Amino acid sequence: MTAKEKKAKAKKVAPAPSLARSQESGQDIQPKRDLTRFVKWPRYIRLQRQRSILYKHLKVPPSINQFNQTLDRQTEQKAADKGDVPTERPPVLRAGLVTPLLVVFLPSLCHKMGVPYGIVKGKARLGCLVHRKTCASVDFTQIAFEDKGALAKLVESIETNYNEI
């Protein structure tokens, strides 16, 4: 026999024998899994998730549900097609993202006093109106003469959405 044949016949021995891994509990290292469900989430995330679940499960009274029906961005264009109508009471706008329990009295108060009101999606959009980052509600008390016509058209379209409740 030659040296090559002897090497071919000799078995290779591993330094440590390979064993079949048993991944049952208590037997070996468990495989890596996605554990994001078990992370302790920040409080604000837990609250917003719980709030969304509660909103799905609860029946919402109409006075609170109207905060979900906000004005769309095209309301101004729709109002521009209508004619000018003078108004005697100043309108009120409020943001939809404010917790409704803080401002739930505003629509009933505006309805009682005959003041037109509307709900805008997002506090930031109202903040742009008053040159701030955010704003919860806006009340128009003094209106320039040249803007009264445009505002009257806007008030008319807002009244059809909100003030007939």
pLDDT in tens, 93-133: 555 556 666 677 777 777 788 888 888 777 888 888 888 88
Q: Is the pLDDT of residue 87 over 70?
A: no
Query: Which of 103, 94, 102, 106 has the alpha carbon at shortest distance from 136?
Result: 94
| C-beta separation of 115 from 90 below 8 A | yes
| Residue 118 Cα to chain centre, angstroms | 19
The residue-averaged pLDDT of 129-139 equals 83
- Provide CB contacts within 8 A for 87, sequence distance 6+: 116, 151, 152, 155
| CATH C-level class of 62-161 | alpha beta
pTM of the entire structure?
A: 0.44
Helix H or strand E segment including 138: strand 137-139
Residue 66 CB coordination number (10 Å): 19
**Residue-wise pLDDT tens digits, 21-69:** 676 767 777 778 898 889 999 999 999 999 998 888 777 777 777 777 6
The residue-averaged pLDDT of 71-98 equals 58
